[in-house]
Each structure stands twice: as structure tokens, then as C-alpha cells.
């Protein structure tokens, strides 16, 4: 029980206002690769980075819950498929 709490505490990232865990230059480079996209403001890049963090966090938590329900500590590819097929929030990934 305590090891689970320690793992969760270690996995939780502290949010610093106005910062993302993704390098702005990398996100900007990815966005510039799409020639249909107009010039994007730095504030928009930050918001896209933060939205991506939130998406990945929610997706990972949902996958983790599936593995926990099956009493496994290791996430498997089928857990991702289950989340995509069963959670409306991630249905667009099908």
C-alpha cells in the first residue's frame, strides 16, 4: 500500500505556471512541419503543449485503471485498445 503511494507521488509532476514539460522549440518545429498551418503565436504553442500533457495524463490514467482492474502492475498494449474502444473520451483514436 505504501509503495503504491510512493510511486504515485513520484509520478506526479508539479505544474509551474506558464511552463510545459515539452520543449517549446520541439512543439514549434512539429507545428511548422504542417504547411497548412499559419504562423502560430508562442502562447498558442504553450496551450497546445499543456493540452497535450493533459491528454497524455488522462489517457495514461485510464490505461492504468484497466491494468489495475485486472490486478496487474504492468500495462499491456491491449489495455490501450480497451480504453480506446470503451471510453468515449478516446473514441477518436480508433
Separation of alpha carbons 49 and 41, rounded Å: 13
Q: How many domains does the chain have?
A: 1
Residue whose C-alpha is closest to residue 84's, from 94, 71, 72, 74: 94
Strands (E), the chain: none
- From first to last of the 94 residues of the chain, give the pLDDT tens digit: 666 655 555 555 555 667 889 998 999 999 999 999 888 898 999 999 999 999 999 999 999 999 999 999 999 999 999 999 999 999 999 9
Domain assignment of residue 44, given as a range: 17-93
For residue 37, tell me if it sits in a domain: yes
Which pLDDT score is estimated for 55?
Answer: 97
**63: buried, middle or exposed (CB in 10 Å: 19+, 13-18, 0-12)?**
buried
For residue 49, tell me if it sits in a domain: yes
Which pLDDT score is estimated for 19?
Answer: 85
For residue 5, tell me if it sits in a domain: no
**Helix, strand, coil content of the chain in percent (nearest 5):** 65, 0, 35
Which pLDDT score is estimated for 14?
Answer: 57
C-alpha cell at 71: 490486478
Q: What is the CATH number of the domain that holds 46?
A: 1.10.20.10
Amino acid at each position: 500500500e505504501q509503495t503504491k503511494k510512493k510511486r504515485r507521488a513520484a509520478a506526479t509532476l508539479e505544474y509551474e505556471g506558464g511552463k510545459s514539460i515539452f520543449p517549446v522549440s520541439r512543439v514549434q518545429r512539429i507545428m511548422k512541419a504542417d504547411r497548412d498551418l499559419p504562423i502560430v503565436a508562442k502562447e498558442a504553442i504553450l496551450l497546445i503543449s499543456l493540452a497535450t500533457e493533459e491528454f497524455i495524463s488522462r489517457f495514461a490514467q485510464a490505461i492504468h485503471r484497466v491494468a489495475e482492474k485486472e490486478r496487474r502492475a504492468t500495462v499491456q498494449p491491449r489495455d490501450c485498445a480497451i480504453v480506446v474502444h470503451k471510453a468515449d473520451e478516446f473514441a477518436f483514436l480508433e
